[in-house]
């Protein structure tokens, strides 16, 4: 199990469900998005028509699925959940669309991965609330127009840059979710702890928050692991000491780096004098695939200001040297 990955397994979804906010006012932080959504939903309810289609973009684990469910709950509507990769044929999508009840929310996760023919079907459903379903093959094929009840599409994407222009244009409301500050994650952790019945001190919450990579999913996951530790090896209270001891057992360091993240930085600093070094050379040095280093480790290392990608290769920043407890060679950083 990778404790600091922002991606979620099906098993973890169940664990997440218990702490998932159900209403907009329980959703922590992201005040601008919350405020805008509040207006969008209340305006639509006053008029008695479904709100504009909503696009939520941002890295995994920041609350897109949660917000989609909140939109349905606030509207008092039903929700259907699917994902771009799950819609293989446009017929699959037509079946979902034509089965929606008036005012339903349709949530499509990873909407940038939807197949092209299905995407085109979605355009007409979003715009005109109708779809043309093609029956038969070859010269005898006919398109049968079917009505779709007025609905609201909530699309989520981790890669908004991959969305086609026509797709993006059909969303009346686009919101980007950003990483959370440690202070925001502290509030989130105290709320989760309250729901789970876990006693936590302010220092304990701050310690876990600081190691959570700005990501609610990771914060909630670390809380579950720290709770185990506190219950099994201590008196059940999540304090500064139990958090530190637990996260040492799980190899999550003070900045939220795991073993592989640290291996990458250590190789960069110790074997390549801080770089620059090419991605594949660096990957060999830590015994991983270049893709894993690039997609799993680097995004966070770059965001944390520990690693820079330059045209000549990967470079450890001054902060990386200090984080590893090393002194950069004289003159390296001006």
Backbone angles phi, psi at 238, to 5 degrees: -85, 105
Sole binder of ligand ADP in the list 66, 239, 242, 317 (CB under 6 A): 66
- Name the active-site residue from 104, 109, 258, 261: 109
Instruction: Kindly state whether residue 212 participates in binding ligand ADP, applying the rule CB under 6 A.
Output: no
Q: How far is the CB of 209 from ligand ADP (least distance, A)?
A: 13
User: Three-state SS for 144?
Assistant: strand
Instruction: Kindly state whether residue 29 participates in binding ligand ADP, applying the rule CB under 6 A.
Output: yes
Please confirm, yes or no, whether 158 is among the known catalytic residues: yes
CA dist., res. 133 & res. 323, Å (int): 58
Instruction: Kindly state whether residue 217 participates in binding ligand ADP, applying the rule CB under 6 A.
Output: yes
- Name the active-site residue from 190, 211, 213, 217: 217
Backbone angles phi, psi at 174, to 5 degrees: -125, 130
Number of residues that bind ligand ADP (CB under 6 A): 20
Please confirm, yes or no, whether 109 is among the known catalytic residues: yes
E strand or H helix at 81, and its extent?
A: strand 79-83
Residue 29 DSSP symbol: S
> What's the chain's length in residues?
334
Alpha helices per DSSP H over the chain: 10-17, 31-47, 64-75, 90-98, 116-128, 165-169, 182-196, 202-210, 216-233, 240-249, 259-266, 279-286, 290-292, 298-303, 318-323
E strand or H helix at 327, and its extent?
A: none
Instruction: Kindly state whether residue 90 participates in binding ligand ADP, applying the rule CB under 6 A.
Output: no
Residue 153 Cα distances to 159, 219, 301, angstroms:
18, 29, 34
Please confirm, yes or no, whether 217 is among the known catalytic residues: yes
Sole binder of ligand ADP in the list 64, 211, 262, 314 (CB under 6 A): 64
Which residue's CB atom is positioned nearest to ligand ADP?
63
Please confirm, yes or no, whether 248 is among the known catalytic residues: no
- Name the active-site residue from 104, 152, 157, 158: 158
Sole binder of ligand ADP in the list 4, 19, 163, 252 (CB under 6 A): 19
CA dist., res. 247 & res. 219, Å (int): 12
Q: How far is the CB of 221 from ligand ADP (least distance, A)?
A: 9
Q: How far is the CB of 155 from ligand ADP (least distance, A)?
A: 12
Q: How far is the CB of 196 from ligand ADP (least distance, A)?
A: 12
Q: How far is the CB of 11 from ligand ADP (least distance, A)?
A: 13
Which pair of tokens denotes residue 199? 């006693």
Please confirm, yes or no, whether 65 is among the known catalytic residues: yes
Residue 324 DSSP symbol: T
Which residues contact ligand ADP by CB under 6 A? 16, 19-21, 27-30, 60-66, 156, 188, 216-217, 220
Binding residues for DNA: 309, 314
């Amino acid at each position: 199990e990778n404790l600091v990955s922002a991606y979620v397994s099906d098993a973890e979804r169940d664990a997440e469900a218990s702490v998932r906010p159900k209403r907009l006012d329980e959703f922590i932080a992201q005040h601008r998005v919350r405020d805008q959504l509040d207006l969008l939903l209340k305006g639509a309810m006053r008029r008695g028509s479904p709100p504009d289609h909503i696009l939520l973009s941002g890295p995994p684990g920041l609350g897109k699925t949660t917000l989609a469910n909140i939109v349905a709950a606030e509207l008092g509507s039903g929700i259907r959940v699917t994902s771009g990769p799950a819609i293989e044929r446009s017929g699959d999508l037509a079946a979902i669309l034509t089965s929606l009840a008036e005012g339903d929310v349709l949530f499509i996760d990873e909407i940038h991965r939807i197949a092209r023919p299905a995407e085109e079907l979605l355009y007409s459903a979003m715009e005109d609330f109708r779809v043309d379903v093609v029956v038969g093959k070859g010269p005898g094929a006919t398109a049968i127009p079917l009505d779709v009840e007025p609905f609201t599409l909530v699309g989520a994407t981790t890669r908004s840059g991959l969305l086609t222009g026509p797709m993006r244009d059909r969303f009346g409301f686009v919101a980007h979710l950003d990483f959370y500050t440690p202070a925001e994650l502290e509030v989130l952790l105290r709320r989760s702890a309250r729901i789970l019945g876990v006693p936590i001190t302010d220092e304990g919450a701050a310690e876990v928050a600081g190691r959570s990579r700005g990501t609610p999913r990771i914060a909630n996951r670390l809380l579950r692991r720290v709770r185990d530790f506190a219950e099994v090896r201590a008196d059940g209270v999540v304090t500064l000491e139990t958090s530190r001891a637990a996260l040492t057992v799980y190899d999550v360091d003070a900045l939220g780096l795991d073993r592989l993240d640290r291996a990458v930085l250590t190789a960069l600093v110790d074997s390549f004098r801080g770089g620059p070094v090419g991605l594949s050379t660096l990957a060999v040095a830590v015994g991983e695939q270049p893709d894993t280093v690039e997609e799993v480790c680097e995004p966070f290392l770059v965001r944390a200001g520990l690693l820079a990608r330059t045209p000549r290769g990967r470079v450890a920043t001054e902060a990386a040297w200090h984080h590893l407890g090393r002194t950069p060679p004289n003159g390296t950083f001006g």
